[in-house]
Amino acid sequence: MSNVSDPNEIILLNDEEVEKVNEFIYLGQLVKWPSQPGRFNKEISRRICSGWNAFNKAKKLLISRRIPANLKRKYFNQCIFPAMLYGCETWCLTKTEETRLAVAQRKIERRMLNVRLLDQHSRGWLRERTQLKDIVQAARERKWNYLRKLMLLPDDRWNRKLTEWTPNTRRPVGRPPTRWMDDFTKYTNKNFNELLSLCLTNFWCCNVSPFVLRDR
């Protein structure tokens, strides 16, 4: 996968042609190029599917009326949540993609409570009985905390360099896709260098809740 290679160019490795692709799975996460609006749709689908796979492994336990709610909640937090939020620190989600995650969580909650969509129970009613953390808020919180961890890394670390890197090319015509740093720059109204200074202060610990709860 490359952003500069000639499409007709053939790359050989040990006399075998290397296949050119637009996406592949790396360390359990989908890597896609070129970046386009909605580029995380497929990854969100994979995460939701992983969450349901974790649910189905203990389906009898989770839908049983005899199992205490605290045991169901413990399994959800330890097995289903990590499956659905794997790699969420690197996501830059649109409102639509966040809604997909929230809808998937509510569907799992209904299965755990043995209620149907036709029963028309509100999101608050479901959350009051399951007492689960909102998946969108959890993803935002992990991303917020990861930025501080990233900023504390040495300057020569590759993930730190990629965060600061700006390609030396003209951007294509049209509205650019949402960048990873846009969540932070829009919320704090600070540029990258100013964010670097803020990450080293108590500001980052004190403002996680407003960042997480915005528009929810």
> Which pLDDT does position 4 carry in this prediction?
65
pLDDT in tens, the chain (216 residues): 776 666 678 888 888 888 888 888 888 888 887 666 677 889 999 999 999 999 999 999 999 999 999 999 999 999 999 999 999 999 988 889 999 999 999 999 999 999 988 888 998 999 999 999 999 999 999 999 999 888 888 888 888 888 877 777 777 777 777 788 888 888 888 887 788 888 878 888 888 888 898 875
pTM assigned to the model = 0.86
Q: Residue 34: is the preceding peptide bond cis (ω within 30°)? A: yes
Q: 25 has which bridge partners?
A: 30
The domain spans of the chain are 37-133
Using CB atoms within 10 A of its CB, is residue 125 exposed (0-12), middle (13-18) or buried (19+)? middle
List own/partner pairs for 205-211 with CB under 8 A and 24 or more apart.
208/141, 208/144, 208/145, 211/140, 211/144, 211/183, 211/187
| C-alpha torsion sign, points 172, 178, 179, 184 | positive
Q: Are 69 and 122 in contact (CB under 8 A)?
A: no
